[in-house]
Amino acid sequence: MKQYDAIIIGFGKGGKLLAAELANRNWKVAIIERSPQMYGGTCVNAGCIPTKTLIHESEQAERLYRDDYSNQAKYYALAVGRKNKLVSFLRDKNYEHIKAHPNITLYDGTASFASNDTVKVVSRDKKEILLKGKEVFINTGSTPILPDVEGINGSKHVFTSETLLRQSKLPHRLLILGAGAIGMELATMYAGFGSQVTLLESGSRFMPKSDRDIAESMLESLKRKGIEIRLNAYALSVYDTADGVTLTYTDNADGTPYFLEGDALLLATGRRPMTDELNLHAAGIRTDAQGAVIVNGHLQTSSPHIWAMGDVRGGALYDYLSIDDFRVIANQLFGNKKRNTDDRVPVPYVIFTDPPLAHIGLTEEEAVKRGYSLQVSRLPAAAIPRARTLQHIDGMMKAIVNAHTGRIIGCTLFCVDAPEVINLVSLAMKNDLHYSALRDFIFTHPSMSEGLNDLFKAF
C-alpha cells in the first residue's frame, strides 16, 4: 500500500490549489481524478469557462447575424470549436502543473473509502490500488439532478449542460427545464445564437429569491430576446420524434396538459453534491439530506483528518467558494487558524444573462422581513454614461441601506459590467464601510462603477 501525507479525491478547483500548496511544503500528495477530460474540474471543463466563452460568442453572433439562422448556425459551430480549444488549453495547463511537481502523484481512477485513512482507486481498466493518507480531502464536486420524467434516460435529444455544450449543431428549437442559474444563462446564450428558446419552470414564482422589481426586469429582458417563459410547468414525459423531442407537461396551476416540440431538451433542474461512489460510511463520514458531506466551519468532517471542500460540502455552488475553501483549510493547517466559512458572508453571485445580474447581501423583501429600518435606492442603467457608450442601456442598479447605521445591507446590479462592479460593493460591505464611501468615491470615467456615486447619492 502506498503512503501519502495527503490524499485529495477530485482534481477540482480547491483540490488542485491545495495539492500545490501542500507539495510546496514538502508533503507527499496523491490526487485522484476519475476522468482525464476533467483535469482542473467542472469550472474549466464543463462549467464557468465554456459557458462564459460561449455567452460572449453569442453576443457577437447576435450583433452580426440576428434573424439569420443559417449564418448563426455556422457561427455557433465555429464558436464551439474555439471554446473546445480554450478548454483543452486550460485543461492541459492544469495537468502539466500537477504532473510537473515532484511531490504530487496523479492517479487516474475512481476513488472510494476503504477505511477512514485508506482510499481505493479503481482505474478505467479495473485495476485497483490502495492508498493510505494522514489527511484526506474530498473535492468531488457536484452532478446534475435529473428529474423523474418518463423517457429522459433513453432519449437522444435530452441533454445536461455538460453534454449540450459539446454539440456543435445549433438546436433550432431548444426546450429548457429549470429557470435557475444554468437555465437562464443558457436560455440567453442560445437565444443570442438564434435558437427559439422555451424556458419551463416548475415553480410559480420566477426568480423566487429576488425582489419583484428585479425579477420583472429580468423577465422583460429575456422576453425581449424572444425567450418564452412558462411557469408552473410539471414535466411528465419525453419521447423522441424523427427530428427531435416532444415534451409533455401539465400546468400545475390549472392541470392543463401541453405538448411542446424541440430539437433538444436541456435539463437545468439543479445540482447535488457528488458523493455517490465514495463509500463514505466506510470512513464514518456523515452526509445531510441532500447528500452533502457534513463539515464544521473549518471544513473538517466528523473525522477531523478528513476534510471536504467545494460543491461536495453543499450550500452555494460557486467556483470562488471552492477557492476560498482552500484558503480556510490552508489557514487551519499552516496559519493562525482564525479563518472559517462563516467569516466570508455575505457572498456575491452573478447570473451571466444579457445584461448580467449580480447580487450581494439581503434583498429588500428579506430586509423588511427581518425588521430592518431601511432605505432603498434605484438607478436605471440608462442613467449611467458608460451604459450609453456601450449601447447597453437595459437594466437597473438597486441598493438597500440600514437607515440607522448607514451600512449597506444588500445590492443588486442588473446591468452591463455587473460582475465586475459588484466586487466594489462587496469590498465596501466586507470592510463595514458607510454607504457614503461609495457615494463619494472617485471612480474612473466613463465606467459602470461610477453609477455607484449616483446610486448611493439618493440616501
Ligand X SMILES: Cc1cc2nc3c(=O)[nH]c(=O)nc-3n(C[C@H](O)[C@H](O)[C@H](O)COP(=O)(O)OP(=O)(O)OC[C@H]3O[C@@H](n4cnc5c(N)ncnc54)[C@H](O)[C@@H]3O)c2cc1C
Ligand Y SMILES: NC(=O)c1ccc[n+]([C@@H]2O[C@H](COP(=O)([O-])OP(=O)(O)OC[C@H]3O[C@@H](n4cnc5c(N)ncnc54)[C@H](O)[C@@H]3O)[C@@H](O)[C@H]2O)c1
Residues tagged in the binding site annotation: 52, 140-142, 178-185, 201, 270, 311
Span 159-178, contacts to ligand X by CB under 6 A: 161
- Number of residues counted as binding ligand Y (CB under 6 A): 26
Does 377 bind ligand X (CB under 6 A)? Our answer is no
* Distance of closest approach, residue 111 Cβ to ligand X, in angstroms: 4
Q: How far apart are CA 439 and CA 449, in angstroms?
A: 11
Q: How far apart are CA 7 and CA 306, in angstroms?
A: 10
| Ramachandran assignment for 264, one of left (phi > 0), alpha (psi -120 to 50 degrees), beta (any other) | beta
* Angle subtended at Cα 75 by Cα 73 and Cα 77, rounded to the nearest 5 degrees: 70
Does 354 bind ligand X (CB under 6 A)? Our answer is no
Q: How far apart are CA 291 and CA 271, in angstroms?
A: 11
Q: Pick from 34, 157, 173, 359: which binds ligand X (CB under 6 A)?
A: 34
Q: How far apart are CA 25 and CA 403, in angstroms?
A: 49
Does 147 bind ligand Y (CB under 6 A)? Our answer is yes
* Distance of closest approach, residue 450 Cβ to ligand Y, in angstroms: 25
Q: How far apart are CA 245 and CA 157, in angstroms?
A: 6
Does 35 bind ligand X (CB under 6 A)? Our answer is yes
Q: Pick from 80, 350, 411, 424: which binds ligand Y (CB under 6 A)?
A: 350
For 153, residues 6+ apart whose C-beta sits below 8 A from its C-beta are 146
Q: Say which entry of ligand Y, ligand X, none residue 199 contacts (CB below 5 to 8 A, set by partner kind).
A: none
Span 216-275, contacts to ligand Y by CB under 6 A: 233, 235, 268-271
Alpha helices in 132-264 (DSSP H): 161-164, 181-193, 212-224
Helix (H/G/I), strand (E/B), else coil: 434: strand
Helix (H/G/I), strand (E/B), else coil: 34: coil
Q: Pick from 181, 191, 278, 308: which binds ligand Y (CB under 6 A)?
A: 181
* Distance of closest approach, residue 310 Cβ to ligand X, in angstroms: 2
Does 413 bind ligand Y (CB under 6 A)? Our answer is no
Q: How far apart are CA 139 and CA 145, in angstroms?
A: 18
Nearer to ligand Y, 98 or 175 (CB): 175
Q: Say which entry of ligand X, ligand Y, none residue 401 contacts (CB below 5 to 8 A, set by partner kind).
A: none
Helix (H/G/I), strand (E/B), else coil: 459: coil
Q: Is 445 a catalytic residue?
A: yes
Does 87 bind ligand X (CB under 6 A)? Our answer is no
Q: Which residues partner with 142 through β-bridges?
A: 273
Q: Pick from 33, 57, 62, 201: which binds ligand X (CB under 6 A)?
A: 33
Q: In what order do the strands lie in the sheet with 257-262?
A: 233-241, 244-251, 257-262
Does 322 bind ligand X (CB under 6 A)? Our answer is yes
Do 156 and 239 touch, CB atoms closer than 8 A? no
Task: For the chain, give the number of residues.
Answer: 459
Q: Which stretch binds ligand Y (CB under 6 A): 21-29, 311-319, 381-389, 444-452?
A: 311-319
* Distance of closest approach, residue 425 Cβ to ligand X, in angstroms: 17
Q: Which residues partner with 110 through β-bridges?
A: 122
Does 215 bind ligand Y (CB under 6 A)? Our answer is no
Q: Say which entry of ligand Y, ligand X, none residue 178 contacts (CB below 5 to 8 A, set by partner kind).
A: ligand Y
* Terminal-to-terminal C-alpha distance of the chain: 66
Q: How far apart are CA 123 and CA 106, in angstroms?
A: 12
Annotated binding residues for FAD, written as ranges, equal 52, 140-142, 311
Nearer to ligand Y, 38 or 136 (CB): 38
- The contact set with ligand X (CB under 6 A) reads 9-14, 32-35, 38, 41-43, 46-48, 51-52, 110-111, 139-141, 161, 182, 274, 277-278, 310-312, 317-320, 322, 352
Catalytic residues: 445
- The contact set with ligand Y (CB under 6 A) reads 147, 177-183, 185, 200-203, 233, 235, 268-271, 316-318, 349-352
